[in-house]
Amino acid sequence: MTAPALKPEEYFIKEEPYYEPVGDEIEIFQAAFEQKLPVLLKGPTGCGKTRFMEHMAWRLKKPLITVSCHDDLTASDLVGRFLVKGGETIWVDGPLTRAARSGAICYLDEVVEARKDTTVVIHPLADDRRVLPIEKLGEIVEAPDDFCLAISYNPGYQSVLKDLKQSTRQRFVALEFDYPAAELETNIVARETGVSHEIAAKLVKFAGMTRNLKGSGLEEGASTRLLVHAAKLIGTGVSPVAACQSAIAQALTDDTEMLAAVSELSSSLF
Amino acid sequence: MARTRLTFDKICATLDRCLDVEFSFLKTEQPAAIIAELDSDQQGYILEWVQRVASTNIQLSYQFITQATAVLDRMDRGIIEAWALHAMDMYDQSGLHAALNVIKSVDKFVQLSHERTAGAVFEDNVGVLSHFVHGLSGRQLKLAEADCVYTDTETLFLPPVIAQLQTTQENFLLYKIMVAYLWAQTRFGTFRESVSEALQEESDPQQFLDLFHALDSVRLEACIERELPGLHRELNRIKATLQADCSTDPSWATQVEELCAPDCDVATVLRLTRTAKGKDSPPRTLFYHGVLDIEAVETVMAQRLEKEKAQLRSVLRQIAEDMQDGEAEDSTEQKQFEANKKADPSQPEGFTIELTLQDQPVPIPEVVNRLTTSIVQDLGDIPDDYLQAAGEGEYDPALFLEKEVDPDDVWKGTYHEEGAFLYNEWDFRRQHYRKSWCAVREKDITPVHDDFVRATLGKYSGFIKQLRKTFEAMRDEDRLLKRQVHGDGIDIDALVEALADARDGSEMSDRLFTRMHRTERNIAVCFMVDMSGSTKGWINDAERESLILLAETLETLGDRYAIYGFSGMARKKCEIYRIKEFDEQYDSEVRARISGITPQDYTRMGFAIRHLTQKLLETEARTRILITLSDGKPDDYDNYRGEYGIEDTRRALVESRRAGIHPYCITIDREARDYLPHMYGAAGYTVIDAVYKLPLKVSDIYRRLTT
Ligand SMILES: Nc1ncnc2c1ncn2[C@@H]1O[C@H](COP(=O)(O)OP(=O)(O)OP(=O)(O)O)[C@@H](O)[C@H]1O
Ligand SMILES: [Mg+2]
């Protein structure tokens, strides 16, 4: 039985990822890291959570291991499993174990999507024990000081069936994310894509219109990510109305009436 | 093969039958003679429609023959059909007289339908337009049809059809422009000054109002140009095609300049109106500007402000209480909040509101945000008295609730449809829906706390145990899957075999793992229970007993389920009884309601299927099941009996199935009726004759749908 070691170099972020702070999230994350507290990022999709994590990993000079959780993700996918190679069984660490052994930041994206048994393995890591028991190896990994656990969660989408349990959420320092204020968001879009400030401002205004529709026809308004997508298209010469339609409206809904209405909104604006 | 033409006698006979001449005493010779002249294809067509219209009304059908044969050559059949259906709709809505008018003025219908092919129709566009107006900032506005274009600041009123321009797209654009213009009135503060007061001082109020409206329109179009430049370009294009004379006289240039300035507000407009009234060649409004209904605006606005003030102050009280939570402060004191205006160029007012309480920033929940936005929109600011937390018990909570109509009051009072859900019903003779035909209301059932539940549980106690076992077997369970390509553990048996294979030199399997598999079910099931008069007696007892058995066993599964009863007394009194809603616990209250299920009026099934289909669609689940429990005999007071009811029920089940629901019908009866296969065609169905069979059937359905 051999455990292939993690090559943390692969997970270091060498260049500063562009991140525009919205509030005091950087300071709070830094403090939580120093106090060895796990962090929960709350917020709608595409508002900069992943980008923030990359930025923090760069800032703290720690490797970042991201796991996108989905409804088939089991505890073994996080912790590790046996493989059979040439008639021999070998153990392979999962991403969480690798992070816990080597002192990296482990970011579990959309953690409620994962199967319920995964919470069992993150709980001991997320309180002051900071250990990861690996049942199948009979081993308990003690996380070094620079290990950090962060999870994300979008309160908007959760149904009664999939909600973050109190026993889980109360272990974390929570940071709330939302779409940045208009001016800041305009800067982000312009800076990320190189479109003019004027176009970026209109895109942000358009995003506002779709966010007004949240709850009356749309499940969610346009995220910063979608604005970045639309701006990129516009940058290559696509007309703003067409870009809004394919990069934003189509991504938000399939409802034909809603698509028509959103298209009317963008053509009114540009 | 061409059909042979019908003879005069044959036609007479058909008409006599369709038009029921034995009782109606209509003379069919003359129309029959006209039909006899037509070719066989036309004959068939006319006679079919005569029959369909006759199913609605015989007089109407009789008139239809004369009119239809006259226009048959020059009119498209699609239009004839639309005309006939329109006449029948009119009959449904307004009676014979109105319907006959439609039939008689076929030319008017043709002109109208012409309008309709190029025109934009409100009904077709209201969906897109309401999304459009909700996307624009500010208070959420509603749209409604009316004879003229105006707003009362809550609803935008628009014409039923717009056909001024050549194409549907352009006419739609005109709708959009109207919507944006009326929105601009509410958004850019046209009603922030009291126009009615201003009018009182005028000797010619109408002239003053017209000029005010025209000048304000200049201002608003400038606002639209800044806010929605794309729309403004389209507006200019439309103005050009309308060739409307929209240029203002050059002598008004200074006024126009002032009106178009970004900081121009309605006070300026009023001032300009006062100073410039009587001046030559004044600007005029265009038709899409509609009219100003100051009275409607001021009534609606006063009511809204009163309500929103109460709501805001009550929420602020709540917030103040939450903020001082724990501090032993005197809570009878009414807190005064402060509104700080934070500069925000994206708002028409140029700021957004932030609240503080004793210099501490206050988190603003969504509802406060909505209220402050709406109040600022009306007043341009938030007056201090709106920011004083309400005193204890100062407001009656009833102020905040949208008035909910008590279904019984509605029925007792005048015969109207307020607060009811309206559903179409299928008329098989017409081969078309009757629009908004059934008025459906939800009602509560009177719970009966008696011995029924205990008696039932006692009577079936052994059986319940057995049932629970059946259902437990279906519960979410972890199953260990063996011989998997990927998995959490090693499948030792498989590995040993594989190693042996490898030694033999044969290929080694890669299926060496075990994996835990969890079947997570995500079901919502809705039971629809027949409460019609025909269930009286053993069927009602059977229904109630079986519901108890079902609920007891479903509880072990943990799936979401709801139970509703249904009954009707003619189409205007269709009733759905709430017995257990999806989010409700199965508790003693629910049990008492089951016990309280009593036979009511008649059976009309279509509306109940449609309504509960809607309910299911609003419930989040991967698999949605609708199980109807009835005696399988549709009948109702007004002609729902027999084939009509069977066909409508069948249709409703088809609709439900199309919407992705799994409908299933369980009939409690001692004999299987021969129409059941047809009626329940779209659904699975079964006939049971004893209570204990029901839960078993349900478990069958479950298993079939979930594995
Ligand atoms: N504050 C910010 N600074 C810089 N870029 C940002 C910021 N917020 C959002 N973005 C932009 O938005 C894009 C989407 O953000 P990101 O992928 O981090 O979203 P997310 O919150 O992780 O979404 P999800 O929940 O869907 O994973 C980023 O690629 C970036 O371009
Ligand atoms: Mg992300």
Beta bridge partners of B688: B668
Q: For residue B331, is pLDDT > 60?
A: no
Q: For residue B327, is pLDDT > 60?
A: no
**Chain A closest-CA separation from residue B161 CA (Å):** 19
Q: In this predicted structure, what is the pLDDT of residue A2?
A: 43
Q: Per-domain residue ranges for chain B?
A: 8-118, 120-292, 296-400, 479-517, 520-706
Q: For residue B640, is pLDDT > 80?
A: no
Average pLDDT over residues B432-452: 85
Q: For residue B395, is pLDDT > 60?
A: yes
Would you say the CB of residue A45 lies under 6 angstroms from ligand 1?
Answer: yes
Two tokens at B466? 């057995």
Name the more confident of B608 and B412.
B608
Would you say the CB of residue A187 lies under 6 angstroms from ligand 1?
Answer: no
Q: How far is the CA of A49 from the centre of ligand 2 (A)?
A: 6
Of the residues A47, A189, A252, which should be mutated to test ligand 1's pocket, given the most ligand atoms within 8 Å of the CB? Answer: A47
Residue B239: pLDDT band (50, 70, 90) is confident
CB contact under 8 A, B346 and A205: yes
CA separation, residue B123 to residues B126, B144, B156, B416, B666 (Å):
5, 9, 14, 22, 38
Average pLDDT over residues B585-596: 89
Whole-number Å distance between alpha carbons of B157 and B163 = 17
Q: In this predicted structure, what is the pLDDT of residue B546?
A: 86
Would you say the CB of residue A179 lies under 6 angstroms from ligand 1?
Answer: no
Q: Per-domain residue ranges for chain A?
A: 8-176, 182-269
The DSSP symbol for B623 reads E
How do residues B603-625 score in pLDDT, each as one tens digit? 788 999 999 999 999 888 888 88
Q: Which of A87-91, B213-217, B367-371 has the lowest mean pLDDT?
A: A87-91
Q: Which helix (H) or strand (E) holds B93?
A: helix B77-94
CB contact under 8 A, A260 and B128: yes
Percent of chain B exceeding pLDDT 90 equals: 25
CATH number of this structure's domain B520-706: 3.40.50.410
What count of Cα atoms within 13 Å lies in the side-chain half-sphere of residue B361?
Answer: 7
Task: Say which ligand is closest to the CA of A113.
Answer: 1
Q: Which residues contact A130 (CB under 8 A, 6 or more apart)?
A: A36, A124, A142, A143, A147
Residue A3: pLDDT band (50, 70, 90) is very low
Q: How far is the CA of B330 from the centre of ligand 2 (A)?
A: 47
Q: Give the distance from CA B9 to its chain's centroid.
A: 50
Closest Cβ–Cβ partner in A75, A212, A268 for B228: A268
Q: Which amino acid is at B367?
A: V
Residue A13: pLDDT band (50, 70, 90) is confident
Chain B hits for A267, CB-CB cut-off 8 Å, are 230-231, 234
Q: In this predicted structure, what is the pLDDT of residue B93?
A: 82
Three-state SS for B337?
Answer: strand
Q: How far is the CA of A246 from the centre of ligand 1 (A)?
A: 19
Would you say the CB of residue A225 lies under 6 angstroms from ligand 1?
Answer: yes
Residue A88: pLDDT band (50, 70, 90) is confident
CB A147 within 8 A of CB A99: yes
Would you say the CB of residue A69 lies under 6 angstroms from ligand 1?
Answer: no
Would you say the CB of residue A48 lies under 6 angstroms from ligand 1?
Answer: yes
Would you say the CB of residue A109 lies under 6 angstroms from ligand 1?
Answer: yes
CATH superfamily of the domain spanning A8-176:
P-loop containing nucleotide triphosphate hydrolases (3.40.50.300)
Q: In this predicted structure, what is the pLDDT of residue B329?
A: 54
How do residues A103-159 score in pLDDT, each as one tens digit? 999 999 988 888 777 888 899 999 889 999 998 888 999 999 999 999 998 876 554
Closest Cβ–Cβ partner in B130, B230, B490 for A270: B230
Q: Give the distance from CA B466 to its chain's centroid.
A: 43
A-interface mutation test, from B126, B128, B234, B560, most A Cβ less than 10 A away: B128
Whole-number Å distance between alpha carbons of B118 and B114 = 7
Would you say the CB of residue A66 lies under 6 angstroms from ligand 1?
Answer: no
Q: How far apart are the first and last CA of chain A?
A: 63
Whole-number Å distance between alpha carbons of B188 and B361 = 28
Find the DSSP H helices in B168-252: 168-187, 195-200, 205-227, 229-242
Q: Which residues contact B342 (CB under 8 A, 6 or more apart)?
A: B351, B352, B353, B354
Q: In this predicted structure, what is the pLDDT of residue B706?
A: 63
Name the more confident of A205 and B553.
A205
Rounded mean pLDDT of chain A? 88
Nearest to A255 by CA among B134, B656, B128, B143: B128
B 195-234 residues inside an 8 A Cβ radius of A: 228-231, 234
Name the more confident of B601 and A259.
A259
Nearest to B557 by CA among B469, B663, B461, B464: B469
Q: Name the closest residue on chain B to residue A160, using Cα atoms.
A: B620
Average pLDDT over residues A76-83: 86
How do residues A158-217 score in pLDDT, each as one tens digit? 544 456 778 888 899 999 998 998 999 999 999 999 999 999 999 999 999 999 998 888
Whole-number Å distance between alpha carbons of B174 and B165 = 9
Q: Which of A233-247, B111-125, B370-384, B558-572 has the lowest mean pLDDT?
A: B111-125
Would you say the CB of residue A146 lies under 6 angstroms from ligand 1?
Answer: no
Q: In this predicted structure, what is the pLDDT of residue B431?
A: 83
Closest residue by Cα to atom 25, ligand 1, is A45
Percent of chain A exceeding pLDDT 70 equals: 93
Interface TM-score (ipTM) > 0.90: no
Q: For residue B414, is pLDDT > 50?
A: no
CB B494 within 8 A of CB B481: no
Closest Cβ–Cβ partner in B140, B230, B346 for A216: B140
Q: How far apart are the first and last CA of chain B?
A: 52
CB contact under 8 A, A262 and B620: no
Two tokens at B576? 């759905």
Q: In this predicted structure, what is the pLDDT of residue B409?
A: 44
Closest Cβ–Cβ partner in B140, B180, B488 for A74: B488
How do residues B481-535 score in pLDDT, each as one tens digit? 888 877 778 888 888 888 888 777 777 777 888 887 766 667 888 999 888 877 7
Rounded mean pLDDT of chain B? 84
Q: How far is the CA of B78 from the centre of ligand 2 (A)?
A: 54
Q: Which amino acid is at B22?
A: E
How do residues B445-482 score in pLDDT, each as one tens digit? 888 888 888 888 888 877 788 777 777 766 665 677 88
Confirm or reject contact between A238 and chain B (CB < 8 A). Answer: no
B-interface mutation test, from A136, A183, A212, A264, most B Cβ less than 10 A away: A264
Closest residue by Cα to atom 26, ligand 1, is A45
Burial class (CB in 10 A: 0-12, 13-18, 19+), B295: exposed
Whole-number Å distance between alpha carbons of B596 and B579 = 9
Q: How far is the CA of A51 from the centre of ligand 1 (A)?
A: 5
Q: For residue B50, is pLDDT > 50?
A: yes
